[in-house]
Chains A and B, each alone.
Chain A
Amino acid sequence: EIVMTQSPATLSVSPGERATLSCRASQSVSSNLAWYQQKPGQAPRLLIYGASIRATGIPARFSGSGSGTEFTLTISSLQSEDFAVYYCQQYNNWPRTFGQGTKLEIK
Chain B
Amino acid sequence: EVQLVQSGAEVKKPGESLKISCEGSGYSFTSYWIAWVRQMPGKGLEWMGIIYPGDSDTRYSPSFQGQVTISADKSISTAYLQWSSLKASDTAMYYCARAGDYSDYWGQGTLVTVSS
Q: What sequence of 0s and 1s flags, for each residue 2-43 of chain A, a beta carbon within 8 Å of any chain B beta carbon?
A: 000000000000000000000000000000101010100001
Q: What sequence of 0s and 1s flags, for each residue 17-46 of chain B, a beta carbon within 8 Å of any chain A beta carbon?
A: 000000000000000000101000000111
Q: What are the 5 tightest A-B residue pairs by CB atom distance, in nearest-first order?
A: A34-B102, A95-B61, A43-B106, A49-B102, A91-B101
A-B contact pairs, 23 of them (CB 8 A): A1-B61, A34-B103, A36-B45, A38-B45, A43-B95, A43-B106, A43-B107, A43-B109, A44-B97, A44-B103, A45-B106, A46-B104, A89-B45, A89-B103, A94-B59, A95-B62, A96-B50, A98-B37, A98-B44, A98-B47, A99-B44, A100-B44, A101-B45
B102/A89 in contact, CB under 8 A:
yes
Bound complex: CA A89 to CA B97 (Å): 13
A49 to chain B: closest CB distance in Å?
4
A96/B106 in contact, CB under 8 A:
no
The residue that A95 contacts in the complex, of B44, B47, B109, with Cβ under 8 A, is B47
Query: How many residues of chain B have a CB within 8 Å of chain A?
Result: 24
Query: For residues 97 through 116 of chain B, which have their beta carbon under 8 Å from a beta carbon of chain A?
Result: 97, 99-104, 106-109
Q: Please give, as numbers and ranges, the residues of chain A lying within 8 Å of B45 by CB-CB distance.
A: 36, 38, 44, 87, 89, 98, 101
- Closest B residue to A33 by CB, please name it: B102
Q: Check A106 for interface membership: any CB of B closer than 8 A.
A: no
- Closest A residue to B59 by CB, please name it: A94
Interface set of A (CB-CB < 8 Å, partner B): 1, 32, 34, 36, 38, 43-46, 49, 55, 85, 87, 89, 91, 94-101
The residue that B47 contacts in the complex, of A38, A43, A89, with Cβ under 8 A, is A89
Q: Check B60 for interface membership: any CB of A closer than 8 A.
A: yes
Known A-B contacts A87-B45, A100-B44; the reply to A44 vs B62 at CB < 8 A is no
Bound complex: CA A89 to CA B104 (Å): 12
